[in-house]
Copies of this chain bind each other. A is one copy, B any other.
């Protein structure tokens, strides 16, 4: 896709890699070993792919010394081929163009402070006293509320909405349709309905955070919802008011985290997990996909709850039994007593 070109000498220098092969060979993209053309780079980080090395048409392969002997073409030898692939991927990305400065159709409050190196796309709106840092990119249709701050080099894709007083750090990426700072779901019950608790806190997002598309992060009721540095969050994730997510944690798609839950640092939460409110989850906890997390934990661990998929006929029969589990357990207990009585009886007869 990208029209950017680098030769292997440049790539080796960029990656700190040892180059074996033609330093002038030109690369304009990345592909997997099976499909890469001579103008493309490939990489290998698992032994199961070594079978593709002899026949790949890739212009060069990123690999660790472990695989170096198995490939005779151009190679970039590194310690961690997957990390090197990640780094080199940045060179060939071709996002939509967004010129520095504000598009004439952008509506920017007079009191907003916008760094001259920022790029503000068509139809963006920047509210009163908002602060847009250096090298920030706001793609078209982004809405920034009053007093919000966007840290330097942060990139917001089209139609992201940032509510009032939200703070976003540096080097963040937020994808389209994501909403940061909507009201937490707070209401006092009254006869026949609900009295709204206006949400007076904000959202504070650290540096180097990436958030996918159509995700919602609510502002705090009192105090803030907090997302630590280096957190990564996928699409369609719901983060409720006053949640705290520790540094470096990863949250996959379709996860929901209820109000005032605290997730530790270095956690991984797989897709479609639901985390209960007002619980605390220890650093380095890991949750399998679809887990319903009802209680917190104090030690790192790996947790799951999803029941196994089954053929629908078998599932129907087993589901009926699931509703009888406590009864089944009682029947086992009863059987054990009866057996024991019989065994005791026999023993007394035998003695």
Which residues of A approach B to under 8 Å, CB–CB? 1-2, 29-32, 35, 80, 82-83, 85-87, 89-90, 92-97, 103, 105, 107, 121-123, 125, 127-128, 139-141, 143, 145-147, 157-159, 161, 163-165, 173, 175-179, 182-183, 185-188, 190, 192-202, 208, 210, 212-216, 218, 221-223, 229-230, 232, 234-236, 238, 240, 247-248, 250, 252-254, 256, 258, 266, 271-272, 274, 276, 288-295, 301-312, 314-326, 328-329, 331-332, 335-336, 338-339, 342-343, 345-346
Evaluate contact between B97 and A146: CB separation under 8 angstroms. yes
CA distance A121 to B84 in the complex (A): 43
Q: Which residue in chain B gives the minimum CB-CB distance to A305? A: B309
Contacting residues, chain B, for A338 (C-beta < 8 A): 339, 343
Contacting residues, chain B, for A143 (C-beta < 8 A): 139-141, 158-159, 176
Contacting residues, chain B, for A336 (C-beta < 8 A): 331, 335
Evaluate contact between B216 and A214: CB separation under 8 angstroms. yes
CA distance A293 to B16 in the complex (A): 41
Contacting residues, chain B, for A210 (C-beta < 8 A): 183, 187, 194, 196
CA distance A208 to B239 in the complex (A): 24
Evaluate contact between A325 and B322: CB separation under 8 angstroms. yes
Evaluate contact between A163 and B247: CB separation under 8 angstroms. no
Evaluate contact between B309 and A194: CB separation under 8 angstroms. no
